[in-house]
Structure 1
Amino acid sequence: MATIPTSAAVSHVGKIRASNQDSGYLGRHLFLVADGMGGHAGGDVASAIAAQRIAEADQPYPTPEDAVMALQSALVAANGLLAETVFEHNELTGMGTTVSAIARVGDRLAVAHIGDSRIYRFRAGELDQITTDHTFVQRLVESGRITPEEAAVHPRRAVLMRVLGDVDASPEIDTGVFDLRPGDRWLLCSDGLSGYVSDEKIAQVLGTIRTAQGAADRLVKESLDHGAPDNVTVLLIDIDDSDGASGATPVFVGSAAQPLSFDHEESARRPIRLPTLLLHPLKPTPPDDAHFEPESEGYLDELIEEDRRRAIRRRVLWGVSVALAAIAIALAVFLGYRWTQTHYFVGVSDGRVAIFQGVQQSIGPISLSQVYQTTSVAIEDLPEYQRTAVMNTISATSLRDAHDIVDRLSAAAGD
């Protein structure tokens, strides 16, 4: 954990992972989060190497466009360094990392991003996601195939389409320039936060806790309270009227803050599994290790076709479930109605005593009884107490009992 006056960085291993594969850098001008990919293949090594290489670009720039170019070059250089590391350590083949980085230049902000870590801007009570996740499920969301809520629990949510590593010599990096306003809060985080804590909750924390350190600590705690199945790293930068240089000593958090090691014991490779019910609401199962898949049309089409088949199976299952539920309801209604028709009571119909079949209740406008037999006994001929009883209906235990009641009423009326 580290703190500077208007910024804070916190990284936590979480409650399930055996090691922290996230890295963060809190500098004077540059800030970044990297989320290692590859699990036992060296996700911690990947994020640490990338963070330490990109941190070399932490310096003042004359224009935000210069900062963008520097960030992009730093990410490409980090990508090459990761490929060289894999060449020297074959056991790390397949490792990679996301990177979300920003550099402040006066009242402007340069952004470079690849992967599914995120950059948010909190301004005037509104939280906006600045970056776009480079994931398969995000592709499905953008194409309208699934909703963001479905993406949060999709079985392919761990598939990354773009990362730094030994997987692509020329990775495509998203860049941009944004304006800054005093009072803005910029949040960089790994998916250990964004995947388990809702945007609404993040906005609430950023809007109610004034200090950067306090807000960053609270966001990590929110992830822990939701089970924290993944590593979680949070960087928070509050924008003031200064030129952006913090004047404090830059710091690393997460795996980048530890000595680099290429030895991974088997015990550290395997995430600890906890029962599903102990985990968070957004993702109901422990997360699979993120892994990269190339953005080839063939593979993407294969994933989309697989998702289409899954959607069809889901719709069929849903349709069968609805049909069975409808049949069960209809059967219950039918049996219930048949049961009501075994009951009788005595009441009034057109001013005369009548025997009714059914029960006295109604379901909305639907009556559960009908006239079975109208007698010749006029209601006005009955003594007052019997007239009142009939008007309030008299329950009978059977049809024979109903006829006996009518006979007694007929005698009372003098018929």
Structure 2
Amino acid sequence: MTLLSAAGSHVGKVRSNNQDSGYAGEHLFVVADGMGGHAGGDVASALAIQSIAHIDRAFENASDAAQALRSALLEANQELAETVFEHPELAGMGTTVSGLVRVGDRLALAHIGDSRVYRWRDGELTQVTKDHTFVQRLVDSGRITAEEAAVHPRRSVLMRVLGDVDLTPEIDIEVLDARPGDRWVLCSDGLSGYVTEQRVGELLDEHPDAAAAVEALIDESLDHGAPDNVTVVIVGIDDSGSSSIGAPVMVGSAAKPLSYTAAVSKRSVRLPSLLLHPLTATSVPADEHFEPESEEFLRELIAEDERRKVRRRITWSVGILLVAGLLVAALAAGYQWTQSRYFVGVSNGQVAIFQGVQQGIGPFPLSSVYFESDIDVDDLSPFSRQRVESTINADDLPEALSIIERLTAEVER
């Protein structure tokens, strides 16, 4: 039987613990990516998933489901705050959450953070959620491109999360239409940050079975070095009112007993990973962290980004000037070399010595008349006249003068 929905999670090739969690049930599907590094990211995502799972039930309409999902996220936020109160060593932990509840041909969505929800429809993959990150703010304002955001030094700054960092977080909720044949992908940035959307769409097309598609997507992230945890939940849509996979499944940290003991933040990298993925597998991505969405902080980050752009412009300008200087120097040296050359040719019907070379650069000649003799070209023998009209090269000025003397002697004879 081809499964409509499935969930999977992998720790990746660099991190020592999985801070992601996922859930796939009868009606509810959720992905959470823990924040706070080794001191609580796994706890945050697991608590959030376990707190939200109780709304995996049938709803009369999608609007009710969306409100229930939002309320569940706020309850999870409160539980995280209470956990930090009991375990102060977890202060600052938090988690992103992206969840869907299916109600017939409608989907209720709730989202906070930078985990993502994609819709694959008619062979086209579309990002449904918007990242609550600082770099997304810069993209929205036109300050940087999406490509620049992917490598921006502040890409790990989250503006909204669940946790003890914000008592009343703003949560995006939406009701979406679902069609038979749709496939919805919920994932942590361990997938979206390292596998292109085009490749995600290709793998969904290649694997109709949800479990096989989840495995293929995770493997693709591993093939790119998987420096971060990666969690994927796929929700398939058919004519039935449910996308159930049978018994509810929890993956990642939510599938394990909670531990409040800090783990080592990274593990050693094996030689095969070092050789195959030198740029990604050898370093742990920066831990995501929350910053309050205050105007003062945004202004500070934007000002810092402007300074970074100015530094980048200065670097490029200096580089361009250096290249231009080298080019000018090369052209000057080349021109000086041409002016050390001489040849004998015709000027105004007379035999003349030219300084430079016969070739030019476009309309600009690289030679000029150095000396015009009294020898009329028509007075030369046919052979000598042909040679002069075709120009006679000389290694230096004395050799050119010597050629003029020989031609003079020929005319006088």
What TM-score, normalized by structure 1, do the two folds share?
0.89
Pick from 180, 205, 208: which aligns with 1:182? Answer: 180
Kindly state the Cα deviation for residue 375 of structure 1 after the two structures are TM-superposed.
Answer: 4.0
Pick from 90, 95, 115: which aligns with 1:117? Answer: 115
Corresponding residue for residue 248 of structure 1: 246
- Are 1:4 and 1:248, in contact at CA under 8 Å, matched by a contact in 2? no
Q: Superposed, which structure 2 residues align to 1:79-228 within 5 Å?
A: 79-228=77-226
2:296 is the counterpart of 1:298: yes
Pick from 335, 341, 356: which aligns with 1:358? Answer: 356
Corresponding residue for residue 323 of structure 2: 325
Kindly state the Cα deviation for residue 251 of structure 1 after the two structures are TM-superposed.
Answer: 0.9
Q: State the alpha-carbon separation in 1 of the partners of residues 2 and 24 from structure 2.
A: 9
Kindly state the Cα deviation for residue 386 of structure 1 after the two structures are TM-superposed.
Answer: 4.8
Q: State the alpha-carbon separation in 2 of the partners of residues 44 and 197 from structure 1.
A: 23
- Are 2:49 and 2:254, in contact at CA under 8 Å, matched by a contact in 1? yes
Q: Superposed, which structure 2 residues align to 1:35-74 within 5 Å?
A: 35-74=33-72
Kindly state the Cα deviation for residue 376 of structure 1 after the two structures are TM-superposed.
Answer: 4.8
Q: Name the count of aligned residue pairs.
A: 409
Residue 105 to residue 379, structure 1, CA distance change in 2 (3 Å): farther
Q: State the alpha-carbon separation in 2 of the partners of residues 216 and 389 from structure 1.
A: 80
Q: State the alpha-carbon separation in 1 of the partners of residues 400 and 349 from structure 2.
A: 18
What are the superposed Cα offsets for residues 111-133 of structure 1, whole Å, 9 maximum, x if unpaired?
10000111111222322211111
Q: State the alpha-carbon separation in 2 of the partners of residues 159 and 21 from structure 1.
A: 17
Kindly state the Cα deviation for residue 247 of structure 1 after the two structures are TM-superposed.
Answer: 5.0
- Are 1:53 and 1:74, in contact at CA under 8 Å, matched by a contact in 2? yes
Q: State the alpha-carbon separation in 2 of the partners of residues 245 and 263 from structure 1.
A: 36
Corresponding residue for residue 3 of structure 2: 5
In structure 1, runs of 5+ residues without a counterpart are none
- Are 2:157 and 2:291, in contact at CA under 8 Å, matched by a contact in 1? yes
Q: CA RMSD in A?
A: 2.7
Corresponding residue for residue 278 of structure 1: 278
- Please give the secondary structure, in 2, of the residue aligned with 1:262: coil
- Are 1:228 and 1:279, in contact at CA under 8 Å, matched by a contact in 2? no
Pick from 379, 400, 413: which aligns with 1:402? Answer: 400
Q: State the alpha-carbon separation in 2 of the partners of residues 408 and 36 from structure 1.
A: 92
Corresponding residue for residue 269 of structure 1: 265
Partner AA of 1:133 in structure 2: D
Partner AA of 1:269 in structure 2: S
What are the superposed Cα offsets for residues 245-289 of structure 1, whole Å, 9 maximum, x if unpaired?
325122111111222111224xx2346579897124xx9964211
- Please give the secondary structure, in 2, of the residue aligned with 1:269: coil
Q: Determine what percentage of the aligned residue pairs are the same residue.
A: 59
Kindly state the Cα deviation for residue 323 of structure 1 after the two structures are TM-superposed.
Answer: 2.4
- Are 1:118 and 1:190, in contact at CA under 8 Å, matched by a contact in 2? yes
Corresponding residue for residue 339 of structure 1: 337
2:271 is the counterpart of 1:260: no
Q: State the alpha-carbon separation in 2 of the partners of residues 29 and 262 from structure 1.
A: 30
Partner AA of 2:255 in structure 1: A
Residue 392 to residue 26, structure 1, CA distance change in 2 (3 Å): farther
What are the superposed Cα offsets for residues 192-250 of structure 1, whole Å, 9 maximum, x if unpaired?
11122223333333344444333333322332232222111122223222222325122
Q: State the alpha-carbon separation in 1 of the partners of residues 118 and 383 from structure 2.
A: 78
Q: State the alpha-carbon separation in 2 of the partners of residues 388 and 14 from structure 1.
A: 79
- Are 2:203 and 2:217, in contact at CA under 8 Å, matched by a contact in 1? yes
2:16 is the counterpart of 1:18: yes
Kindly state the Cα deviation for residue 90 of structure 1 after the two structures are TM-superposed.
Answer: 1.3
What TM-score, normalized by structure 2, do the two folds share?
0.90
- Are 1:36 and 1:46, in contact at CA under 8 Å, matched by a contact in 2? yes
- Please give the secondary structure, in 1, of the residue aligned with 2:44: helix
